[in-house]
Chains A and B, each alone.
Chain A
């Protein structure tokens, strides 16, 4: 590391958690600051000013920035160096931020959003003119999101201000370090994607191999579901043996269930706490403090506790539910014992039989060192729009210069000029064909050929809205003692939850929140009013779908276990029996084919397919297949998607239709479904509208916050759904629709993955027309009725409800039958 620093080389350091990665990132800077002669002031032109920042440290979490600052201050004090380290986050008081601009520290620890604000400030030249090094912590976690795009643009800007800037990336093990190495250095105009001179790579191999086991239980492993209730008695025993256990789950509602169940078993009065993003901040801080002080025995947590913060003495990491992506698993296991020489202990608790397979696959992957992270996607256009306005806020710019700067970043290296100009037009006046907004332009091309911000308020609004994290409309959860007191308005705020969670709830529905069962009473203003209930079993299915779909990499591993009976002996007997019966009555999905099963059940006919491409891609496939089956006259009635399979049911016998040739499976699964069918469905898709809202907020079409009225979420002035409808009908090629489409394809609709799957299985569809449900189909069939896809078929539901009322009214008015 030191050699490369001396040579001025950018470098990617890959090391397992606990290897002292963060400190090694800083060491060259500390040595430089300590050894060379660094005057406190420098001369710029005719002025003498304070020396700028020497090293910037960027972390994805503000808590991590604060924590790392503390950890680096210790060696500095020990060595007696006079190096000033400070943090700057959203929580830093205004007076300190002001002072930091005039009198910058040697090392500044901050977040991507704060960096974007700083480079747009008037003092940017002074602050960053002397910058020697920028360190990105947890780079692998930063670069795959829109925050990574914003950060890449920020890095390009810093290089402008400090041409000799050296970038250092710190990362956990990743499958493709080439991308990260390229991300750190400027890109040439090279559309082929060959990186001429990437950052140097330093790899520190792992210490002791982690000791990972899958929880063995004599209880029956369920077919479906996500609660893992069967395993809790065994899990509880494991907690008792460990000193401090971290129990990770995939969703908040799962956290609630696990927490509640463990407490019901807690005869030994273990101190078990709950930590997830919906809980009140004060509550979360209390848990974190208790953990650091060693006052807890176990913490049930979601990803809010995910990234490398070193708290307390965790000696066991438990993962309940499928780990979804193997690299997430590695990250989480890294939490146990932050020391290189001792193996981390981890316990996997699959919640159902498919998850047993997934855990086994993840376990294999971890041992052989395979890691998967999603590839870095082309930079998002909404983020670019935000940055372009930021650049104008910073100083007047020439479009040609900015284009070169933007395309020097890894995510935007292939951006074409026409699209860039479209983004520029969007920032200026909305970029519409109808040019009525010219007089209100936010930025204007002036006579000297530069673009400038029209007025100071534009800059103010931009500053308030910087960032790529869009808040979902949230509702406060308010507890009242009885509904009679509702009008008095009040009650204790327990936390916040996404508005959409309550949209499908009826008064009297019960759900888990903050470790207790609550009864939903009403929506009042911006709050969901709840009361306590004695009901032990919440009625609302607590599983709202995992946040992370099964990764491509893990899916392939699961398929390979399924298709190779020699591997089944490693699985619990219940699971291998299940697979063997499947092999007898039907067959198992292969590595490359697509298994389609059809069978009757009750008065319906079912089709179950097993693509293993994750819930999002399956949902999209379900939407498209039902449209096609409708046209093919199979009268489909609904579908259900899991991470592994997709089940469709219909009035007509799809099995016999396929046998008689009236339904050709090759046609049904033809890739052309991604054309017109997709387009038609998208027009009114709820998922797409949600994606559009995110893009519109990030791009600055809709403000989250306006000066003087710091609003968030629902108070957006024009509903994004209305804007979306107008845009689709009037300007289907608008830049924001492009951004939405790119997002949705990779995100909520996962079209990219669906496309790859359809191409892979072409000509390789295996159809099994069965007399009854197969063992492998049971899990997805059990999900029917538990998960619904919102936003579709509203009109027909409305019509039938209204018609029912009419029919009811007619009956009560007509004479009783004789």
Chain B
């Protein structure tokens, strides 16, 4: 309990503190008196002519070039006229502004004007675009008008142009006005409504590098909106240019090859992962998207059943089919399930499980006796069925993951998917069934739940081509090559390399022969639950000293050898011919 003295001390201190609390409020009274009584006139004046106008000066974005310096994205300067809603939102203002435009041959009614301003309105002091897309000549003509300077501000606008259009659409991407959602979720406070931001591809991936820094002009204006003086001016800073690894001429060749098909063609340097060709068809022109298209045009493009806006190379996950057999072969060899002396006999089918299920080889009449070399050359399914079951699903999945299946490659393009190589647990969770031998059989030849992107496949084949480096594909030429070593021995690599070389020489991949380069590669005809089989070919060239790897996929294309083989072969021979 407290002593009486303490109690006294308490109230004593309490009184002091109370007085401090109460009398310190006089400081606020004094402040209010100073600003609201002594200085009132000055501030009333400031408020009535308040008026600092802040003008954002957009920065030109960095240009994007292909590997040879051909422009893929550039800017052109146009002009727009901006104004503040509080200056022009009266009927007579709309009328006189529209009349002024009419005098200079720009058709715009006061109703149009009102509609435009209302649509962009956020707050009275937030500038809106009254009219856009003017040339320098038009603007200088307008500025001469007596009525102009009152409340209108001309400002330069950089418009993005994609000279290559659809040729590089999926790689370069496009820019557009920032959306409300993007504004809300932006990490920094850089953007404002009306700003342009990269929406896809390189434009989005390297947004921070490309965008530069906006400038800002602060003008004090009088009560009628006439600029009095410049308060502040910061120059906009240009964005940095971006040089890609992509080869536009090869893209043109790829588009020519893929004309009229649905699918993907991708080619990459086997050693440093620089992507030379990325063609996803059908493609789309990015220019209209940047300049603004109607809602109808947009929904037609976005809702097109052929999905032109989807990047099939990085965003499309497909059953890989027989092209996956190199991964199965590597795991069989590394786990010592087979060696070069292991021979099985292929009667054209394989039976497994209780009750037994029959799995057919693509060659119904059978391949007879095959070892691993022959199985790769002839794409013998039974060899992989039988030995895949011996190996077991867990090891197969482990090796699949070692080759990057089921995970994004880390390429510098947004929206990449990782495919699927999920095993027992996933099946139990998703489908509620346990894993059967039949599932293992399917995985062994790249079917079943197995899904890969074309980019993942070129990466796997590049690893065989370059002696075991799983490179990270890249589009930015300034980015350092990165890779991860695959734990496959050199001897086993050589066995597989010989197998897929002979596949083109004398096996199922013969359709890729005779284009002037020696190719090592593998065909695939992937069964597709949604319709026609997908045709695959993945390979590299030259076979003995590989430089490039390519993958061709034709959706619903049927047999891989005859359809996809020549596509990949032609793009490889084109790249080698034009190699410096």
Q: Tell me whether A and B are bound partners.
A: no
Chain B contacts to A: CB under 8 angstroms: none
